[in-house]
Amino acid sequence: NTRVWRVNTSEWESGLLNEAAMVLRNGGTVAFPTETVYGLGADARNDAAVARIFEAKGRPSDNPLIVHIANLEQLGELTLPYGETAKKLMERFWPGPLTLVLPVKPGAVSPRVTAGLDTLAVRMPDHPIALELIASSGCPIAGPSANRSGRPSPTHADHVQGDLDGRIDGIVDGGPAGVGLESTVVEIEGDAVRILRPGGITAEALREVSRHVIYDAESVPGEVLSRKALDEKGGTPRSPGMKYTHYAPKGLMQLVIGDADNVSAYIQGQANTAKSHGERAGILAFAEHGTRYEADDVVIVGSLAHPETAAQGLYAALRTFDERGTQRIWAEACPEEGIGHALMNRLVKAAGHRIVRV
Ligand code: TXA
Ligand code: MG
């Protein structure tokens, strides 16, 4: 009872998304492709519709949602006045994989969307299907990633179907998502930009707009705080989603950082030991190092020379281990530059913060 609409962006006809838009308008839930990952949409103003998102995903209610818009007119109905830096970021990066945390207009969206915060996370996705669907629904669309909570975000419609079939009203299948990792979430303080979640827009790109780009401690792989450490700090994370262990494959994963040869030797040794204990061993490697390894499941995540390919392939690679029943996984690390920063952030989370330096 989850409908699937297949849409080919190269044979675009207007009206293709009318049915899906109607479902959204009537309070239903529809998954749709964006340039980052697939989102699970519902009318952000409709409390019952938003409740269905949380239920379908099994998402904790204190983790707020991003609202997706198709044009700036929609933004005016959602937020209170914001400053020049926010305007410049929108001009430079929208539509695109940047989410801005802005002051919310009271009553503009269901309180479930903001989880009680006085701010709203908003973005305008850079994907023809997402934009058309939002515009023709006429609703601001609340849209978390369309996975079951704790699973890797979906980068293909098949991933959505595997996680949510029967739990949502529909899926618009528009082929693979683009970036492969979620949007960058930022908060603005005067002319400073604070990265709450690294993602599709890099810190380097943000520096073209603001000279003060800061990483929130929770977003920096080397300093990722555990839930326990956060509780001890007494701190509520600024981006509530950052405190949950996300994207975890079912197998126990470890992230290995260090000189490439040491990393390969360590990983192969560990995989051999696991195998000798009768465990199914997996390795997540970059294409350049693929031939160095022998294990039950050697999965190539993409190329080190083109880290954007690794971003695109990461979540599908993690799902592959789940399908194969891999019990122990070792992952190669990458340099934290450009999109590599977001990639490492997700690898650290997938590894449940199990990091070894060799
Ligand atoms: O690329 C993306 O952002 C995808 C696509 C579908 O647009 N969406 C996505 O949504 O990744 P989700 O729900 O999986 O992640 C939303 C993140 C969470 O970390 C959440 O805590 C944070 O945004 N967030 C939402 N509202 C916030 C707010 N008012 N202040 C701070 N962080 C917020
Ligand atoms: Mg998510």
pLDDT tens-digit map of 250-275: 999 999 999 999 999 999 999 999 99
User: Rounded CA gap, 344 and 337, in Å?
Assistant: 10
pTM comes to 0.93
pLDDT tens-digit map of 72-116: 999 999 999 999 999 999 999 999 999 999 999 999 999 999 999
Q: Which ligand is nearest to the CA of 184?
A: 1
pLDDT tens-digit map of 51-77: 999 999 999 999 999 999 999 999 999
Give DSSP secondary structure letters for 138-204. TS-EE--BSS-TTSPPPSSHHHHHHHHTTTSSEEEE-SS-SSSSPPEEEEEETTEEEEEE--SS-HH
Atom of ligand 1 nearest to the CA of 39: 6
Atom of ligand 1 nearest to the CA of 125: 7
pLDDT tens-digit map of 222-240: 444 333 344 444 444 455 5
Q: Whose CA is nearest to atom 13 of ligand 1?
A: 144
Q: Which ligand is nearest to the CA of 54?
A: 1
From the list 56, 255, 11, the residue with the least C-alpha distance to 165 is 56
Is there an atom of ligand 1 within 6 Å of 219 CB? no
Atom of ligand 1 nearest to the CA of 99: 3
Q: Which ligand is nearest to the CA of 65?
A: 1
Is there an atom of ligand 1 within 6 Å of 149 CB? no
The residue whose CB lies within 8 Å of the most ligand 1 atoms, and thus the one to mutate among 145, 193, 194, is 145
Q: What is the ipTM of this complex?
A: 0.99
> 166 pLDDT exceeds 90?
yes
Percentage of residues of the chain with pLDDT beyond 90: 86
